[in-house]
Amino acid sequence: MSKKIEVEDKILSKNDKLANELRQLFLDKKVLVINFVSSPGSGKTSILENILPKLSKKYRLAVIEGDLETENDAERIRKAGIKAYQITTGGACHLEAFGIKNALPNFDLDNLDLLIIENVGNLVCPASFDLGEDFKIVVISTPEGDDKPAKYPSMIRASSAIIVNKIDLAEYMEFDVDKCIDYAKRINPNLVEFRTSCKTKTGLDDLIAFIETKIEEKHAGIRG
């Protein structure tokens, strides 16, 4: 004989519950948390190296780096003068909320305005795991192909902003920036768009201005 027991629970309920606790904590402490997601090599760390020193003139910042192995990215951020903590997942393809929780004792949230989480380079898995962030920014770079948003729609849907990076190479890569952003906006019409190059320093000031606005909104108690 057998019987059925109804469960009606989300599979990731534990992660989601912890993420919501973190979100409440970040709200109480008025810390803006941005989760940066992309394929490996899209230039997330380069973007951060470029924008964080400028943001740090006005705000108190820290970075959590997620990678399978090495402290390389955290060291790059530290060289830019920003506090960084490296999570090495040891093979896992994404960060989870408990990893963020475990990293938090390394930061003084009472003296922080912006916490950046640079997720493991992967356009699939991080979409499913809420980290308690205010929003995700997805980075797509021109060597990847302009149909990337159409291939990875879940991440596009999960993100609030898209950065097309390495636009200085667009011509050589035959990457149509407008087409890429058009694909993305058909999947998620509310995406805020940025077009950047860390080589030519294009578009980075727009991104900085956007993040500053979001930090101010968080201080004012407006949810992201």
Return residues touching another protein (CB under 8 A): 1-15, 92-94, 96, 124-125, 127-129, 150, 153-154, 156-157, 185-187, 189
Nearer to another protein, 1 or 220 (CB): 1
Count the neighbouring beta carbons within 10 Å of the beta carbon of residue 153: 16
Q: Smallest distance, Å, CB 165 to another protein?
A: 22
Q: Given the complex with another protein, which of 113 and 130 has the nearer CB atom?
A: 130
191 phi and psi angles, rounded to 5 deg: -60, 135
Compute the C-alpha angle 216/221/224, nearest 5°.
Answer: 70
Whether residue 47 contacts residue 204, with contact meaning beta carbons closer than 8 Å, is answered with yes
Nearer to another protein, 152 or 194 (CB): 152
CA dist., res. 151 & res. 44, Å (int): 20
Please state the closest distance from residue 179 (CB atom) to another protein, in A: 14
Beta bridge partners of 202: 197
Task: Tell me how far, at minimum, the Cβ of 125 lies from another protein, in Å.
Answer: 3
Q: Return the number of the residue (79 or 186) whose C-beta is nearest another protein.
A: 186
